[in-house]
Structure 1
């Protein structure tokens, strides 16, 4: 039987050895210890709460590094590892010990952790590609009189962003965004002030939104979308190019964007702009009853 144990100063060395064995340990970001070692004593205590060790009898056999559940109980898994000879001992019941209503795990497509996901009865939510581009490779001219760009203003544009995003993603089975969600995001470490952008037509109507965040060590375009009635007019490409140019003007050398493998239109657009595949990964999802 596999038991869960909190990470502490007393079992830290066991975790360190397990983490160093894992080939997939947070491969898209700084390692746990790069993050942990730079923090204060209090912050280290908080970060340790994100780790649970898997123990069989007196042997430590694996770990899970997960995001503390958000207000709605959702949690991202950052890394998971279990020694091969113990994978058969785990099942989805172990997830009931976490205070989460649902888990998501983005992992490299060839990750050995897929065996663990299957044992825990996770479902494949999507197959994705992370693409990247050098900002210096793109030269833009935004003098067209049919568009202009408006940067998101905290304390002013939350309702507008909420309305635009919920309209754009209403067919994506997403939980509707709330103004409170946006206020919470503005307090997150990954949020970058002045890097949220609305694209407007020459009548002053907002037709889409996108932003840059700094997440998992990458500057990434997220929440990108154009209102349905304004699609197929080139607004999406102009917005992406503007966001890349915004990064270039702020000395950011590389920008990333995530796209589902079966979204051929988006893949074609990003390739046309100059993005190239960086990593292929799978998003796993599990709802906890």
Structure 2
């Protein structure tokens, strides 16, 4: 029999053990105690109210940590049940979901580990937009660039901030995106992750047509802010810029690179896979309408 209980000071030690195993269901489950341990007693008490534990017989086997906003949106920060990952039982997860009493839309970010996606589907979650993390071995062959009309220019601090601001805003312009400002550029330059020789403009006949950048995450180069102006797309200029960035990283002594792409960006995904990138991880937004959720 399953039973859901509140998190209290008495069962906190059992929850610490469950929290330490949060990655078993979802590698991006948030660490509760990273927040909890720096709070004062009053804030800790409030935070504990957002957690429900599930017991089977006398043993604590799982939990859910969630937050509900004023617009009837509930975010699951972390959720995990210790179980057989080969053939997991979704019933304890249903018990945990049912501790959310308010009619709301539940959101959960989950990284695929070969069984959690199927379990979420079986509960009634719907998969939405996702982010794919791809990697490439730089020791593999990198092709040459043959288009002599193209030029590559390294971003110069104190000179090119306005141009970078303009071209990035044009490349990534959408109705929902907040435009980049010069302050954002200066802030970027001051960060530890900034890789000076990895900020590159692409030009054709002296006209700026694209931009790509390399930043460092845990000593691994990551390609970011990569794109071509709309009117120049479909002409393999993106491939040329990508090859140039790969050459920079290879010549800098790196043997591995990462890039992240929206799951709906099929054109970019095709470019990266054609260039030898492979999927390393998949992270998707999942939603569940609590009003239509069946116990």
TM-score (norm 2): 0.63
Structure-1 residue corresponding to 2:251:
249
Question: Which residue pairs with 1:20 in the alignment?
Answer: 21
**Maintained 8 Å contact 1:62/1:82:** yes
Q: 2:138 & 2:80 partners in 1: Cα distance?
A: 39
Contact 1:210 1:225 in 2 (8 A): yes
1:149 aligns with 2:159: no
1:156-177 Cα distance to aligned partner (Å, 9 max, x none): 3222111111101113732222
Q: Is the 8 A contact 2:199 2:212 kept in 1?
A: yes
Q: Which residue does 1:258 correspond to in 2?
A: 260
For residues 33-73 of structure 1, give each alpha carbon's deviation from its aligned partner in whole angstroms, at most 9, with x where no partner exists. Answer: xxx9xxxxxxx999957x9664459x9965769xxxxxxxx
Q: What SS does the aligned partner of 1:207 have?
A: strand
Task: Name the CA distance, whole Å, in 2 between partners of 1:129 and 1:140.
Answer: 24
Question: Closer, same or farther in 2 for the Cα pair 1:260/1:156, shift >3 Å?
Answer: same
**1:248: Cα distance to partner?**
1.0
Matches within 5 A, 1:180-259: 180-201=183-204, 203-215=205-217, 218-259=220-261
Give unpaired runs (5+ residues) of structure 1: 6-10, 37-43, 66-76, 96-102
Secondary structure of the corresponding residue to residue 127 of structure 1: strand
Q: Name the residue aligned to 2:99.
A: 89
**How far is the alpha carbon of 1:226 from its aligned partner?**
0.4
Alpha carbons 1:213, 1:220 under 8 Å: kept = yes
Cα offset, 1:90, TM superposition:
3.1
Deviates further, 132-141 or 83-92: 83-92
Distance (whole Å) between structure 1 residues aligned to residue 5 and residue 162 of structure 2: 47
In the other structure, the counterpart of 2:133 is 130
Deviation of the 1:187 alpha carbon = 3.8
Aligned equivalents of 1:114 and 1:90: distance in 2? 21
Name structure 2 gaps, 5 residues minimum.
54-59, 67-74, 82-92, 288-295
Q: 1:134, 1:254 within 8 Å by CA — same for their partners in 2?
A: yes
Deviations 1:229-259 (A, max 9, x none): 2222221001111111111112221112223
User: Is the Cα contact below 8 Å between 2:200 and 2:211 reproduced in 1?
Assistant: yes
Aligned partner of residue 22 in structure 1, secondary structure: helix
Cα shift at 1:217: 7.2
* Partner residue, 1:107: 111
* Distance in 2 (alpha carbons) for counterparts of 1:82 and 1:160: 47
CA shift in 2, pair 1:105/1:229, >3 Å: same
Please give the per-residue CA displacement for 1:11-37, whole angstroms capped at 9, x wherever unaligned: 788535412243145469xx97xxx9x
**Bigger Rg, structure 1 or 2:** 2
Given candidates 149, 160, 172, the residue that maps to 1:169 is 172
Distance between the aligned counterparts of 1:91 and 1:248, measured in 2? 54
- The superposition leaves residues 73-120 of structure 1 with CA deviations (integer Å, 9 ceiling, x where unpaired) of xxxx9962355443322368999xxxxxxx994633757489899x9x
What is the DSSP-based 3-state SS (H/G/I as helix, E as strand, rest coil) of the residue aligned with 1:170? coil
